[in-house]
Amino acid sequence: METITRNTIEQTCLEAIAKEMGLKSSDLNAEMNLRDDLDIVSLDAMNIIMALEDEFKIEADIETILEMQKVSDIVDHLSERINV
């Protein structure tokens, strides 16, 4: 089974965000602000979270994620949940 690293999680996060927001993942980075840079609102965030939950077979803390500011905050949260 492929080892899940923080880099894998970050790349998967960027791809999920890109897919939901109609962007290219290559144009995104982990330091981007979810609202100011990516225009993500709560419903977009829910779709992104659900995609990541499905991908990593985990249950994310939605309340926590909705309060996050940057992509890297989501990566941190998921890394913790996945025990990376």
Note the residues at the interface with another protein (CB under 8 A).
21-22, 39, 41-44, 46-47, 50-51, 53-54
Nearer to another protein, 5 or 61 (CB): 61
Residue with Cβ nearer another protein (6 or 56): 56
In whole angstroms, the minimum distance from the beta carbon of 42 to another protein comes to: 8
Whether residue 10 contacts residue 45, with contact meaning beta carbons closer than 8 Å, is answered with no
In sequence order, which residues have a C-beta less than 8 Å from that of residue 24 and are 6 or more positions away? 18
DSSP 25: G
Smallest distance from the beta carbon of 73 to another protein, in angstroms? Answer: 19
For residues 66 and 71, what is the distance between their CA atoms, to the nearest angstrom?
A: 11
Say which residue the tokens 């992104």 belong to: 48
Of 57 and 83, CB closest to another protein: 57
